[in-house]
Amino acid sequence: MANVLELQGITKRFPGVLANDKIDITLREGKILALLGENGAGKSTLMNILYGLYKPDEGKIFVRGKEVHIDGPNDAIAQGIGMVHQHFMLVPVMTVTENVMLGIEPTKNGVFLDQEKVAKRIAEISNQYGLEVDPASYIKDLPVGIQQRVEIIKVLYRNADILILDEPTAVLTPQEVEGLFKIIATLIKAGKSIIFITHKLKEVLAIADDISVLRLGRMVGSIEPNKATPEKLASMMVGRDVSLVVQKSAPKPKEAVLKVENLFVRDERENLTVQGVSFEVRKGEVLGIAGVQGNGQTELVYALTGLSSAESGTIELNGKNLQNATPRQILESGVSHIPEDRQRHGLILSFPIHDNMMLCTYYQEPFAKGISLQEKAILSNAEALVKQYDVRTPNIYVNAGTLSGGNQQKVIVAREFSRPIELLIASQPTRGLDVGSIEYIHKQIINKRDEGTGVLVVSSELDEILALSDRIAVIYKGQIMDILDAKKASKEDLGLLMAGIHPSTSPKKK
Amino acid sequence: MKNTNNQTQTVQEQRNRISYGMTLLVVGVLIYLFFGINTTATSQTTFSLNLLGSQAIPLSDLVLPAQGTIYLMVGIVVFTGAYQLARGVKSTGLLVGIIAFTFIAAFLTWATQDKSFNLTGMISSSLVRATPIALAALCGVISERTAVINIGIEGIMLMSAQIAVVTATMSHNLYVGLILAIIFGGLIAAFHAYLVIQFKVDQIVSGVAINIIGAGFTSFFSSKYLQSATDTLNNSGTFPIISIPVLSKIPILGPTLFENNIIVYLMLILVFAMHILLFYTPWGLRTRAVGEHPKAADTLGVNVNFMRYINVIIGGMIAGLGGAYFTIGSVGRFDELMTSGKGFIGLAAVIFGKWNPIGAFASSLIFGFADSLQVKLQILRVPIPSEFLLMAPYIVTMIVLTGIVGKAIPPAADGQPYEK
Amino acid sequence: MSKTASSKETKEKKETAPTGIGGGSIRDALLVPTLAVITGLIIGGIVMLVSGSNPIQAYGALFAGSFGSPSAILSGLQAYFATGDNTLLIKSIYPFTESLVTATPYIFAGLAAAIGFRAGLFNIGAEGQFFIGALCSAFIGYSIKDLPMIIHLPLALLGGALGGAIWGMIPGYLKARFGAHEVVNTIMMNWIAFRLSDWLLKGPMQASNFRPVTPNVFASAELPRFFEAPLRFNLGFFLALLAAYLVYWFLFKTTLGFEVRSVGANPDAAKYAGMNIIKNFVLVMSLSGALAGLAGTAQVLGVDHWVGQGFSAGYGFDAIALALLGKSHPVGVVLSALLFGFLRSGATNMQSVAGIPIDIISIIQGLVIVFIAAPAIIRWFYRIKSLKIDEQTVLTRGWGK
């Protein structure tokens, strides 16, 4: 069987980072190659090189045996390469048709856009591959799963036969993932070849014909699916045997610290994304909120921390009503918040570390007397925290933006843990971090729990939820499906709940 | 999801419906209080519909009972308000239009009671005064549709105005001036594009620099050369009025739309040409995509920076045309700082017109109308200071920006440099 | 985006980081602005050359016009010590003091724009705030009779600051509450200010029926002058320096300033940290407006003593130029205001001696802004290697965001 695509010795350097180091991969015709690796392993960089968005510093690309130079997306498209990006490349205020035709617009009379022609072709593609979509609808009105179909249609419309799917399942529910796998099967049947990028082991084992694993910009090796096990793949990915199980004692929960009842929250677009959520967090326990990204977790946390206001419902902290309190009032009642987006909310990247270390308490003793800032106290505080939390930095005067992701997160953790708190809200606390940092931060969170703090962990990584939580609440479309005891919860049941199906009531599947 | 969307929309709609309805009722009361009470029952208002020296078929003057007309306007606006409260009207544009129309009609009737007022002349001069504003606005629209903010329009127009008159005077050919003004406008815009695309200079800073340089350079040149050599450098004459055969004979419409000089015609053509370009051609689709989601356009092989360069340059050429209007299009000579902020008003018209060419043109007409109204009111000796009327468009722009009256949403990437 | 910093660079940062000049060494902070000004002057010289004038003669006249001639000052001193007659001395230091007089409103106006930049706000409306401030202080100055100076002068200053503050606060509030972009709104407020002043100067505030100007303020509201006429050097200059110090202290030594800078650097993180964005936007735009208002006030009470039409022309853009050149740091603003004060003041002499229109200064000023905003041009021009990778000036984030 012929190799439809070969990359040889691809190397790409960014200032200070070797993103790809002499990488070779091979894609066989009509097969699925899974490219596996942690966040930051260099998968996306490699694919962006293949698609012409980056220029490689070294290396060769062969398509159907011929060496090609890809200087831009146009070259890639001409070679029959198409890419479905992790973050969809769709213009929200335009229709499906407009998005599909962009870049290769057919015209009437040589001047005017011929939308009918494109709509017809979209309908054909839809029928052929089972990609149902209304060409006239606007992207912003479509659910995520359908938007992904539009992305695939875009690629097929350009007659691509090599498809790159970059983390296509990250934003899908398990059921939508199944739908996607069916589509992939249809594509393979039609003779397309696919590179499937992911960091989820099970998906790889489910559909791949070949597996290549990347770590820290290097190719670790290739393996055949029938010889691979999840454990084996995981150790190839992270370079050592990992246990995502955090060593922890049994929880000693006491009275409730946070009570949320019937909470409704609207997002920035005024959509009701949290719809009647109720739960409580007790002192000395970790409540995990599991769910596929985009099911209202972000808005829930925003409402709890005062970053947005709730539509209705009650939020009580130690019996004190905090509904629609300001972030400052919530902070001062003893709530710490590790935000989901650390660079957007958690840090001021252009400020030095010492200022970031007192970002929430700058107006309190000892950092300020009256309105006057106390430089000595600020500096000594930062020195102490950097040492205590092992933040790797040349000194406390460098800007937070110069730190690595893991160290940035440590700055936030140090700051948030260094004041007396009743409740910790940690949203996606280890997203995008290396395994070492993950372990460290998990340990810190469990320590806080053992000190008697109530902890709310929100994460879309089921493994993280399972590792940390004492109880697990599953959120789906803005509602809590169920709250389970972590010891009794199985991954399968959680998966179904995350898809909006109660295991007890659902008809037998498979 | 769908359900909640609909729900929120109806909540929002209901809020809007009530606030618009109340606004209409309040305007009705205001019209009555301001104008109705102060009008005597017997006085009459005369609106002349003929423009002096025009080829249009003359019409007889429109003579109206002042008080009756004002009460009619109150009636219209109150009725619409009541209907809006009860049922709701879909088009907010219509409501705003009714408010503006009734208020202005009542105001004019009151101001000209027992006097005569030339309505056609008023409309005609509104269009003429709107021309440079509309050209500035079109420049803004096409630049910002590709996500490049250009607040240097004022400076571009000032320099083009000077180039136009000087070259036209020297060559004794107005068209030479016109073409050079357009080319020069394009060049300055290219410089702006180069700074903001190549060097990722803050777009507003670059615009400010162009304005300062524009004001400095034209004033420098003017005091160094033009003031001492007015006849040889700064006296070009102006483009003649071109009457379109047959069409110019239509009453009211003829003298306003079909008896103008070439720049006014070009402006009108450009408004519609740009509308078609933006919404019905591949170029426009790419332009809008680059303004909304440049990365998406890039991954489909659209050259983002190329699109930005070209559109900004086209915008600059249009602003250059607008600059030419000030000199060879209206007075035939250059005065220091003669654009007097029209470029900035054009920017307001862009936002007011929601980044659409036709909307921007309509907004420019409002500014032009306010401008010419001021002049007319001084003639009529209306007992309110015209300065306050002149403030109205600025205040209205600020209100529009608050989003209370229909949110104006800019292209998503507007003002941001593109990085891969 | 670079995640690594060379150790050399971090050392430099360590020395200067707490002062917050923009995160680099002093040399870094001064190099580009200095070269930008020099390049601007060179290009200005080329423009003069092309228009048929001698740039050396012109810049000589500029220098003499802004600093005075050293020999005249020397002989003035001699005459003073010899005879006790100070007329010669007064005459010889006139150019220098006049430059400081010109720089006074620039310092205030530059601080106004700088404090806005620090909070991520683009106050392009200093011109209107300047005008309103001037009108308010003039009104207090001429309408209240028989007040002792100790009350009247501070009252007039306060009135001017308040007027400007209100004019700045409105766009600040609209930005905070509705997200309406301050660039457009401050421009609109400018035009409202001009129309309002047209009406005031032709009506309620008109001194006589001939010219649209206000009456002169009473002597008790004038900023005291240090020398006899024709020298106009007055207390305003030192008030401006005091304002610069206060702005520095406010921005870098107080919790309020920390909030302002946080809001400017990352509004989302500021909100997360419990800071009130609305309060800060309103506060900063009010302060910015107040400083711009004080610029107008200093001009009225210290120099002109009355207000006429077109009084504030050009100060809005100048303010932005000054803040950019001074990197939004009070010390930098004072230095650039002095520079522009000397340039503008000397340009008058240049116009009469070398026949070069004063507007050449605007050209140079515009060019300087371009070079400051695009340091890459300067680096390319002088073949300087970039020390910091991430140094582009991003001040605004599109319209409504």
Q: Which two tokens stand for residue A73?
A: 């997306």
Residue-averaged pLDDT of chain B = 88
Rounded to an integer, the average pLDDT of C91-109 is 93
On the question of pLDDT at C401 being above 50, the answer is: no
Residue B418 confidence (pLDDT): 85
Give the pLDDT band (50/70/90) at residue C380.
confident
On the question of pLDDT at C16 being above 60, the answer is: no
Cα dihedral A205, A211, A212, A216, rounded to 10, equals 0
Residue-averaged pLDDT of chain A = 88
Is the Cβ–Cβ distance between A88 and A97 less than 8 Å?
Answer: no
On the question of pLDDT at B4 being above 70, the answer is: no
On the question of pLDDT at B53 being above 80, the answer is: no
By the 10 Å C-beta count (0-12 exposed, 13-18 middle, 19+ buried), A427 is classed as buried
Residue C389 confidence (pLDDT): 38
Residue type, B369: F
**Residues A215-228: tens digit of each pLDDT:** 878 888 888 888 88
| Chain A (197-226) residues lying within 8 Å, Cβ to Cβ, of chain B | none
Residue C396 confidence (pLDDT): 47
A473: alpha, beta or left, given left = phi > 0 and alpha = psi -120 to 50?
Answer: beta
On the question of pLDDT at C393 being above 60, the answer is: no
Residue B1 confidence (pLDDT): 37
Do residue A375 and residue C18 have CB atoms under 8 angstroms apart?
yes
Higher pLDDT pick, C289 / B92:
C289
- Distance (Å, rounded) from C-alpha C288 to C-alpha C130? 10
Contacts of C396 in chain B (CB under 8 A): 202-204, 415
Which of C7, C10, C273 lies closest to A359 in CB terms? C273
- Distance (Å, rounded) from C-alpha A213 to C-alpha B156? 56
Q: Residue A480: beta bridge partners? A: A475
**Residues B196-253: tens digit of each pLDDT:** 999 888 888 899 899 999 999 999 999 999 988 888 899 999 999 999 988 888 888 8
Task: Determine the distance in angstroms separating the CA of A294 from the nearest CA of chain B, rounded to an integer.
Answer: 12
Contacts of A275 in chain B (CB under 8 A): 4
Task: Determine the distance in angstroms separating the CA of A72 from the nearest CA of chain B, rounded to an integer.
Answer: 7
- Distance (Å, rounded) from C-alpha C387 to C-alpha C130? 38
On the question of pLDDT at A446 being above 90, the answer is: yes
| Chain A (300-319) residues lying within 8 Å, Cβ to Cβ, of chain C | 305, 307
Nearest to A497 by CA among A482, A486, A479: A482
**What residue in C sits closest to B419 (Cα-Cα)?**
C1
Residue A143 confidence (pLDDT): 83
Q: Rounded to two decimals, what is the model's pTM? A: 0.85
- Distance (Å, rounded) from C-alpha A303 to C-alpha A305? 5
Nearest to C166 by CA among C218, C129, C200, C209: C129
| Chain B (243-282) residues lying within 8 Å, Cβ to Cβ, of chain A | 280-282
**What residue in A sits closest to C255 (Cα-Cα)?**
A371
Residue A269 confidence (pLDDT): 67
Give the pLDDT band (50/70/90) at residue C62.
very high
**What residue in B sits closest to A275 (Cα-Cα)?**
B4
Q: Report the neighbours of B using a cutoff of 3 or more CB pairs below 8 angstroms.
A: A, C
Rounded to an integer, the average pLDDT of A367-385 is 93
Would you call B299 an interface residue with chain A, using a CB distance cutoff of 8 Å?
yes
Rounded to an integer, the average pLDDT of A361-387 is 93
| Helices C315-325 and B203-224: angle between axes, nearest 10 degrees | 120
Domain regions of chain A by residue span: 3-238, 256-498
A248, C80, C256 from C126: Cα distances, Å: 61, 42, 22
Please list, in sequence order, all residues whose beta carbon lies within 8 angstroms of the beta carbon of residue B293, skipping any fewer than 6 positions away: A89, A90, A91, A92, B412, B413
Task: Determine the distance in angstroms separating the CA of B411 from the nearest CA of chain C, rounded to an integer.
Answer: 9
Q: Which two tokens stand for residue C85?
A: 């007659």
Rounded to an integer, the average pLDDT of B31-49 is 85
CB pairs under 8 A between A and C: 101
Beta strands in A283-334 (DSSP E): 286-290, 310-317, 320-321
Contacts of C274 in chain A (CB under 8 A): 326-328, 330-332, 360
Would you call B6 an interface residue with chain A, using a CB distance cutoff of 8 Å?
no
Would you call C388 an interface residue with chain A, using a CB distance cutoff of 8 Å?
no
Would you call B8 an interface residue with chain A, using a CB distance cutoff of 8 Å?
yes
**Residues A231-281: tens digit of each pLDDT:** 788 778 766 555 566 778 888 888 999 999 999 998 876 778 899 999 999
Residue A393 confidence (pLDDT): 86
**Residues B107-133: tens digit of each pLDDT:** 888 888 888 888 888 899 999 999 999
Task: Determine the distance in angstroms separating the CA of A57 from the nearest CA of chain B, rounded to an integer.
Answer: 16
Residue A198 confidence (pLDDT): 84
Q: Which two tokens stand for residue A17?
A: 């980072």
Neighbours of A62 (CB within 10 A): 15
Q: Considering Cα of B166, then B168, then B172, then B176, what sign does the dihedral take?
A: positive
**Residues C121-143: tens digit of each pLDDT:** 989 899 999 999 999 999 999 99
CATH superfamily of domain region A3-238? P-loop containing nucleotide triphosphate hydrolases (3.40.50.300)
Residue B314 confidence (pLDDT): 98
Residue A490 confidence (pLDDT): 81
Contacts of B356 in chain A (CB under 8 A): none
Please list, in sequence order, all residues whose beta carbon lies within 8 angstroms of the beta carbon of residue A387, skipping any fewer than 6 positions away: none
Q: Report the neighbours of C using a cutoff of 3 or more CB pairs below 8 angstroms.
A: A, B
DSSP string, B233-294: HS----PPPEEPTTGGGSTTHHHHHSEE-HHHHHHHHHHHHHHHHHHHSHHHHHHHHHHH-H
Contacts of A309 in chain C (CB under 8 A): none
Q: Which two tokens stand for residue C30?
A: 């001064």
Domain regions of chain B by residue span: 2-114, 123-402
- Domain B123-402 CATH assignment equals 1.10.3210: no
Residue B156 confidence (pLDDT): 97
Task: Determine the distance in angstroms separating the CA of B65 from the nearest CA of chain C, rounded to an integer.
Answer: 33
Is the Cβ–Cβ distance between A255 and A283 less than 8 Å?
Answer: yes
Do residue C177 and residue B208 have CB atoms under 8 angstroms apart?
no
Choose the weakest-confidence range: A143-147, A348-352, C168-172: A143-147
By the 10 Å C-beta count (0-12 exposed, 13-18 middle, 19+ buried), A444 is classed as buried
Q: Which two tokens stand for residue A405?
A: 């992701």
**Residues C268-285: tens digit of each pLDDT:** 999 999 999 899 999 999
Q: Which two tokens stand for residue A103?
A: 């870049």
**What residue in A sits closest to C252 (Cα-Cα)?**
A373
Contacts of A363 in chain C (CB under 8 A): 255
Do residue B296 and residue A93 have CB atoms under 8 angstroms apart?
no
Higher pLDDT pick, A215 / A103:
A103
Do residue C258 and residue A305 have CB atoms under 8 angstroms apart?
no
**Residues C239-260: tens digit of each pLDDT:** 999 999 999 999 999 999 999 9
- Distance (Å, rounded) from C-alpha B255 to C-alpha B124? 7
Choose the weakest-confidence range: B276-285, B314-323, C381-390: C381-390
Contacts of A359 in chain C (CB under 8 A): 262, 269, 273
**Residues A68-96: tens digit of each pLDDT:** 999 999 999 999 999 998 888 999 999 99
Contacts of C1 in chain A (CB under 8 A): 401
Residue A30 confidence (pLDDT): 93
Do residue A103 and residue B300 have CB atoms under 8 angstroms apart?
yes
Which of C187, C320, C363 lies closest to B217 in CB terms? C363
Q: What is the DSSP letter of C301?
A: I
Which of C23, C256, C258 lies closest to A399 in CB terms? C23
Is the Cβ–Cβ distance between A368 and A362 less than 8 Å?
Answer: yes
On the question of pLDDT at C15 being above 60, the answer is: no
Choose the weakest-confidence range: B404-408, C147-151, C321-325: B404-408
Residue B379 confidence (pLDDT): 76
Q: Which of 1.10.3720.10, 3.40.50.300, 3.40.1390.30, 3.40.630.30 is the CATH number of A256-498?
A: 3.40.50.300
Higher pLDDT pick, B299 / A270:
B299
Residue A9 confidence (pLDDT): 92
Residue A464 confidence (pLDDT): 85
Based on its alpha-carbon atoms, the radius of gyration of chain B, rounded to whole angstroms, reads 23
Do residue A94 and residue B299 have CB atoms under 8 angstroms apart?
no
Residue C178 confidence (pLDDT): 84
